[in-house]
Structure 1
Amino acid sequence: MSDDSSNPYVSPSTEAFREHDDAGDMPLETRESIDYFGSITEFFDHPEWVNGLLMASLTVLIPFIGAFAVLGYEYDCVAQRLAGRGQRPYSLFTFDRFGEYLMRALWVMLYGLCASLLIIPVMLVCFLIFSVLASSKNEVLAVIGIVIAGAIYLGTILFMNIAMLPGMFRVAMTNDIGQGFDFAFIRDFISKMWFEQILVLLFVAFSSGIMINLGYLLCCIGALPAVVISWFSMSHLLMQMYQVYLSRGGMKIQIVP
């Protein structure tokens, strides 16, 4: 219904939709499975996707902070949608909220830096094993050591990515770095979604690699739009994982749009 009582057939304004006080209490949309390719194609569902892509791509060129602002914008689109606010299928990038986008991304980056410190001891152990066995005169022993150290390193990287995804998403949705260390939520999310997390990481790695390389083939001009679409895909895959997680009885996040 319209906000204007004189014309009940006019659609409600976006601002009225944004300012709905009960939006945060609306039932969250859930889903049973993840639409991997839909996370990419949904970007083109917006009638003004060309303008949005151009604006975001140019923003990435801003030194130091441009990329963070665009990444924060992608998370903001997800937060708006989960909170039942914003435009559909997503809100376009606007410089009016540049600072908000930037802060949302910076909290995620700081959380990632803090969490990644945990991997340093493992890297040192792997390097020590590699150094000791590589210096051995026994070639078989050296090869075994390299394989073991490499397996430990790759396994740790995979584990850290799986462990950090729930926390990073929680920080991005709440704008609170402390929320990323809710270990009860992280354990519950991983226990219910570990397989989907692996599939999402693999899909993002391959799809973003293909899109960015195709962008480089276009005289490098298409690389920036490819990065923007890749980030959009990743953020929306995280949203879909959260929706599937909720359908499996997961813990609800208090979204801060």
Structure 2
Amino acid sequence: MSSDNPFAAPEGGYNQPNHSSDGTVQARSSMDYLEAFGKVFENSNWFLNVLILGLVVVIGNYLLFIGGIVGTGYGITILHEKSTGKTNSYPDFDLNKFGEYLIRGFWMFLVGLVFGLCMAPIAVVLVVVPAMLQATGNDALGLIATLLLFVFIFAFSIIANLAILPIFIRAGLTCSFSDAFDFAWIKDFMSKMWVEQIVGLIVLGILSWFVILIGMVALCIGIIPAGGVVLIAYWNFITQLYQVFVGRGGQPVQYRDSGSL
């Protein structure tokens, strides 16, 4: 990695993982956020992949969110095959594995739904307290309430995003609801990777906005492959997080067969 990359993690520089196919997670020492997008175009079938993935997500989301579920299931396949060295770029989107993508994505959807339901009461409390202060009619309390509401929502959103990612990773890799909620592992992941998660979401958010904008300019038809590019880049980023986590002493998650529909 070039030393003038402003988005590289400061410690240790980037170590390209040694690629093998023995199923062992290949650790890396630091993040390269720009690589998440760059790797999208290193696959010789990149255009076909992003086009199919974009179509699956766009069309499938009209069918009970199936497109998003399949997309996240494919994302976990990217994470597994890249992190274990089976590919240096990412695996092709294989329609023959549609059922596997759907199953892995379903487990992630399920734990995400449960996580959201558990977080909902906390979100309600965080909104109700400032609302009660505003209801007093006192201008000073109203201002304080507005500031508190902003701080509460901002902090809650960050914490929720940090927590849900390791849960998603575990659910997708293990295809298990109970194994997804290993709180010791989740805490370890968050404590080791929270800085990289926040920085990465900001950087990828900005880059994704530009990619989607370009897709919209291309007669709006380009939004389909643009969505595929963003989704693959996002899972390239998550793969890096997982590998750096292992490099920092984190415990790899046991990959399990998805079974069949």
In the alignment, which residue of structure 1 is the partner of 2:40? 43
Q: Please give the residue correspondences for 1:2-13 in structure 2 after superposition, counting only pairs within 5 Å.
A: none
Aligned residues of 1:108 and 1:168 also touching (Cα < 8 A): yes
The whole-number CA distance in structure 1 between the counterparts of 2:222 and 2:232 is 15
> Gaps (5+ residues) in structure 2?
1-19
How far apart, CA to CA, are the structure 2 residues paired with 1:77 and 1:249? Answer: 22
Give, in whole Å, the separation in 1 of the partners of 2:48 and 2:152.
45
CA distance in 2, matches of 1:127, 1:55: 41
Question: Which deviations, in whole Å up to 9, do the C-alpha atoms of 1:148-190 show, x marking residues without a partner?
Answer: 1221122111111111111111212222222220011011111
| 1:177-231 Cα deviation digits (max 9, x unpaired) | 2222001101111111111111122223222222212211222112122221111
Which residue of 2 is the match for residue 29 of structure 1?
26
TM-fit CA distance, 1:136: 2.6
The letter for the 2-side match of 1:82 is S
Query: Runs of 5+ in structure 1 lacking a partner?
Result: 1-19
Q: What amino acid sits opposite 2:56 in the alignment?
A: T
Which shows bigger deviation, 73-82 or 238-247?
A: 73-82
1:129 deviation in Å?
2.0
Between 1:32-41 and 1:223-232, the stretch displaced more is 223-232
AA of the residue aligned to 2:47: V
Q: Point out 4+ residue stretches in structure 1 off by more than 4 angstroms.
A: none
- Distance across 2 between alignment mates of 1:58 and 1:190: 33
Tell me, in whole angstroms, the C-alpha distance in 2 between the residues paired with 1:193 and 1:71.
21
Give the letter for the 2:33 counterpart: Y
Report whether the alignment pairs 1:97 with 2:94. Answer: no
1:71/1:114 Cα in 2 relative to 1: closer, same or farther (>3 Å)?
Answer: same
Q: TM-score of the superposition, structure 2-length normalised?
A: 0.83
Deviation at 1:84, TM superposition (A): 4.2
Q: How does 1:46-195 map to 2 (within 5 A)?
A: 46-60=43-57, 61-62=59-60, 63-64=62-63, 65-85=66-86, 87-195=87-195
Q: TM-score, normalised by structure 1?
A: 0.84
Partner amino acid, structure 2, of 1:81: K
* CA RMSD in angstroms, aligned pairs only: 2.0
How far apart, CA to CA, are the structure 1 residues paired with 2:213 and 2:176? 35
Q: Residue 248 of structure 1 corresponds to which residue in structure 2?
A: 248
